[in-house]
Amino acid sequence: MSLRPRARIHLNHIAENWRTLQAAQPDGLTGAVIKADAYGHGLPQVAEVLHDAGCDHFFVAHSFEGESARRALGPNPVVYVLNGPGPYEEPLYREANLTPVVNSDHQFQTLVTWLQTGGKLKNGYALHFDTGMNRLGIPAGDAPKLAEAVEGMLPSLIMSHLACSEEHGNGMNAFQQERLSAISALFPDVPVSFANSGGVWLGQDYHHALTRPGIALYGGGMPPKDAKLLPGMTLEAPILQVRSIEAGESVGYGATWQSSEPHLLATLAIGYGDGFPRSASNKGFATIGTQRCPIVGRVSMDLITIDATSARNLARPGVFAQLIGLDAPLEEQASLAGTIGYELTTGLLPRVTRIYED
Ligand SMILES: *Cc1c(COP(=O)(O)O)cnc(C)c1O
């Protein structure tokens, strides 16, 4: 039996989450964001299972991720490259049939050059407007200029991205929505994409023609209580050693945790060298059975020590403890480590074996 940490990837859960998102938005199309190796779950595997579930619109950040998606998906689904086209990438986009998302004047010039030199884009291109996030996208004020410039080469999609989608009451959402409406009026009949996962939960007004959920597919983010998302992965690590300690002993580097009474400790084969954050030291937890066992002492490169006193009857070498999953919710674990679910799953390194389950 291997003593490596493992992430069991629940492809059936990811497909079920996609169907849940689609049911929340019956009038439009539900896409899938599979950038960063599908948030650490495996891009080709996730692409394939979502395509089988009925998804035909995929989003990646980089063109090389788009090539990988195309290989997994076959010829038909649309694959958008969010970070946009680079000057020498026309052959790559053509051969892999990728759809560039144009984010700036500079990228628009790149696209024009491609088209003028005989480039063809089977699924057109998207125009991404920045409606207030000031991160990436064509400034909203440039929309009229663009509307003129695209004459004869209309985009196949207009998009924008929400800055505060996880906060229902935040006025930024309505502000961005208004700006996007004004922009979309300049491009009559061009479909609009606005909502990420948080945007889907904001309700119908935010859905438009095509949504772009990412984190919700993998069971994270801030879904409403009745949404019932399933975990995309179960992260677990085997117990290497179990020991009893007396009151007054300490644990780990820097001796940052001391026992005030006798405890049973279990040492797990996972650490920051696997991408589990060191910031979870003395804050995160693992579960054995359904018992929660707090992380005690510092997370080190290869090892984590947990207080397994409450799981005394189950804790023994070779038993796997769970760090992310049904008993250890992703966002709760992430928050204890001072981060978000996105960073936790995308941060897992290749030393964690991925096991694919249907
Ligand atoms: C990553 C990303 C998404 C997905 O966001 P989630 O919060 O994971 O649903 C959607 N749109 C854009 C432009 C993104 O960069």
Residue boundaries of the structural domains of the chain? 31-218, 233-357
Q: What average pLDDT values come out for the chain (358 residues) when binned by 10 residues?
A: 94 98 96 98 98 98 98 98 96 97 98 92 97 98 97 96 97 98 97 98 97 98 95 98 98 98 98 98 97 98 98 98 98 98 98 95
Q: Please name the residue whose Cα sits nearest to atom 6 of ligand 1.
A: 214
Looking at the domain covering 233-357, what would its CATH class be?
A: mainly beta
Question: Which atom of ligand 1 lies nearest, measured to the CA of 215?
Answer: 8
How many angstroms does the Cα of residue 64 sit away from the middle of ligand 1? 18
Placement of tokens 């891009």 in the chain: 43
pLDDT number for residue 358 = 82
CB 64 within 8 A of CB 36: no
pLDDT number for residue 74 = 98
pLDDT number for residue 268 = 98
Q: Which of 34, 58, 82, 99 to mutate to test the pocket of ligand 1 (most atoms within 8 A of CB)?
A: 82
pLDDT number for residue 119 = 85
Instruction: Show which residues are catalytic.
Output: 35, 253
Tell me how far CA of residue 250 lies from CA of 242, 255, 278, 292, 311, in angstroms. Answer: 15, 5, 18, 20, 20
Q: Residue 289 class from Cβ within 10 Å (0-12 exposed, 13-18 middle, 19+ buried)? A: middle
Question: Which atom of ligand 1 lies nearest, measured to the CA of 33?
Answer: 4
How many angstroms does the Cα of residue 184 sit away from the middle of ligand 1? 20
C-alpha to C-alpha distance for 288 and 34, rounded to whole angstroms: 31
The CATH number fitting domain 31-218, selected from 3.40.50.720, 3.40.50.150, 3.20.20.10, 3.60.15.10: 3.20.20.10
Query: How many C-beta atoms lie closer than 10 Å to residue 74's C-beta?
Result: 10
Q: Which of 103, 134, 212 to mutate to test the pocket of ligand 1 (most atoms within 8 A of CB)?
A: 212
Phi and psi (nearest 5°) for 191? -65, 155
- List all residues whose CB is within 6 A of at least one atom of ligand 1: 33, 35, 82, 161, 196-198, 212-216
Question: Which atom of ligand 1 lies nearest, measured to the CA of 213?
Answer: 9
